[in-house]
Amino acid sequence: MDPSTPTIDPLTVILLVMDYEPAILGNLPGADGLLGRTVGAIATARSRGMRVGYVRVAFEDVDYDAVPRTNKAFGAAAAGRRMDAGAPETAVHQAVAPEPGDIVVRKVRVGAFSTTDLDAQLRGAGVDTLVLAGVSTSGVVLSTVRDAADHDYRLYVLEDGCADRDPEVHGLLMRKVFPRQAWVIQVADLPSLVGAR
């Protein structure tokens, strides 16, 4: 960890666990290890008084109907009625499941902010800092880093709490792209970064 990485105020931060769904994790090599590390991050967050939030991608009938044919990423999912909001495969994985009081949003595009009220919920809770864990690094994590930076959040990305089907892309984003807008840290760095409540 970079020694200049600023500490985290537990009262103004949220750990966002993004797209940790069986339908997505099932296509990811090493998913069990990723889940284990993220369970540890959540435990640290809760023990330090941090908020925990969840973002999941899932569609209802109206969402399928609203996806235009021009949308390369979601057109096929909509046409095939995949990622249905009521399916167990789109629920947050039970290993990292939300607890009462956690923020949970459902999205129908890539980024965590794009089709949700997440920003309003975070602002209402006094959150100005995000710690991100997500699948995939080149999908939800990249989109959310960019959007959250434009919303002026302080950002931390858990390198080992994120994963991508292409490890080379994951590494490139963590080393070359994300450090321009976020501090890239490891799950093991969290305890030393989070101040006392």
| pLDDT number for residue 196 | 57
CA distance 182 to 86: 34
Q: Is residue 181 part of a domain?
A: yes
Domain with 49 in it: 13-56+98-193
Q: Is residue 93 part of a domain?
A: no
| pLDDT number for residue 197 | 54
Q: Tokens at residue 154, please?
A: 């302080």
Number of domains the chain contains: 1
| pLDDT number for residue 69 | 81
Whose tokens are 């302080």? That residue is 154
| pLDDT number for residue 59 | 85
Q: What is the CATH number of the domain that holds 107?
A: 3.40.50.850
**Which residue pairs, CB below 8 angstroms and at least 24 apart, start in 144-152?**
144/16, 144/18, 144/55, 144/111, 144/112, 144/113, 145/178, 145/181, 145/182, 146/111, 146/181, 147/111, 147/112, 147/113, 147/114, 148/112, 148/113, 149/181, 149/182, 151/113, 151/119, 152/128
Helix (H, G, I), strand (E, B) or coil at 4: coil
Q: Is residue 184 part of a domain?
A: yes
Per-residue pLDDT of the chain (197 residues; tens, 9 = 90+): 787 899 999 999 999 999 999 999 998 999 999 999 999 999 999 999 999 999 999 988 888 888 888 888 887 778 878 888 899 999 999 999 999 999 999 999 999 999 999 999 999 999 999 999 999 999 999 999 999 999 999 999 999 999 999 999 999 999 999 999 999 999 999 999 997 55
Q: Is residue 90 part of a domain?
A: no
